[in-house]
């Protein structure tokens, strides 16, 4: 049986898990990983990871959602402790979504970079412009998307498939017929804008026909 500090720490971990039962899903998952998977008290985790105890408490209680930089630090520490990658992936999904859309994928890239500002800096754009791209307000150039992936060491192939679907939907929402929407998406993928086709003598009306 446990005695002394070991017993005290076990009780602290149990209390953390009990309190987390009513916390948001991400907070619950973070507590479970810290107290159950790693078997650490909040103080132990704080000392070893470098994340302050107060910050950790607020995150675990759901008072604050962790910033991308803090979650990246949390994940990096857990990887050093050899935590199963599937468990860490579930945290990323809770935080940024399952990467089923281009917006969610860009969220993941921001998490990998540590913050939207850092990702924007790596590819030479402003954080405000990155926000517009993530929200779908601006058409995201494929070469820029590839650079964003390369900046954080992510395979761009899944991102390009999501980009294709997002761009196609954007044209359909603007009232384009399906075939024409697909045509303009393929043009954009090849780096050819509508104005470029006009310079080559292909008018918009001709493309629509």
Least confident of 9-18, 105-114, 133-142, 187-196: 187-196
Confidence at residue 2, expressed as pLDDT on a 0 to 100 scale: 73
CATH number of 4-96: 1.10.260
At 123, the pLDDT band (50, 70, 90 cuts) reads very high
Helices 85-96 + 102-113 axis angle, to 10: 120
Confidence at residue 201, expressed as pLDDT on a 0 to 100 scale: 56
Q: What is the pLDDT of residues 161-206, one digit of tens each?
A: 999 999 999 889 989 889 988 988 888 888 766 665 665 555 556 5
Q: Which long-range contacts (CB under 8 A, 24 or more apart) does 61-70 make?
A: 61/19, 61/23, 61/27, 62/23, 62/24, 62/27, 65/24, 65/26, 66/26, 66/30, 66/95, 67/115, 68/110, 68/111, 68/113, 68/114, 68/115, 68/116, 69/114, 69/115, 69/118
Domain with CATH 1.10.260 in the chain: 4-96, 102-208
CATH class of 102-208: mainly alpha
Q: What is the pLDDT of residues 62-100, one digit of tens each?
A: 999 999 999 999 999 999 999 999 999 999 999 998 889
Confidence at residue 198, expressed as pLDDT on a 0 to 100 scale: 60
Q: What is the pLDDT of residues 30-66, one digit of tens each?
A: 999 999 999 999 999 999 999 999 999 999 999 999 9
Confidence at residue 176, expressed as pLDDT on a 0 to 100 scale: 87
């Amino acid at each position: 049986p446990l005695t002394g500090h070991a017993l005290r720490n076990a009780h602290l971990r149990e209390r953390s898990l009990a309190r987390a039962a009513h916390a948001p899903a991400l907070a619950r998952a973070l507590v479970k990983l810290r107290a159950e998977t790693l078997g650490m008290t909040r103080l132990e985790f704080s000392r070893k990871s470098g994340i302050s105890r107060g910050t950790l408490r607020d995150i675990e209680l759901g008072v604050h959602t962790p910033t991308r930089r803090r979650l990246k630090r949390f994940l990096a520490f857990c990887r050093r402790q050899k935590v199963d990658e599937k468990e860490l992936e579930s945290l990323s999904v809770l935080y940024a979504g399952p990467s089923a859309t281009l917006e969610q994928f860009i969220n993941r890239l921001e998490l990998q970079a540590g913050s939207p500002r850092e990702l924007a800096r790596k590819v030479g754009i402003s954080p405000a412009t990155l926000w517009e791209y993530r929200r779908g307000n601006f058409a995201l150039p494929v070469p820029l998307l590839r650079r964003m992936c390369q900046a954080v060491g992510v395979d761009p192939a899944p991102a390009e498939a999501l980009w294709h679907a997002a761009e196609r939907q954007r044209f359909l929402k603007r009232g384009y017929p399906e075939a024409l929407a697909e045509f303009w998406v393929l043009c954009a993928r090849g780096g050819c804008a509508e104005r470029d086709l006009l310079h080559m003598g292909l008018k918009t009306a001709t493309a629509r026909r």
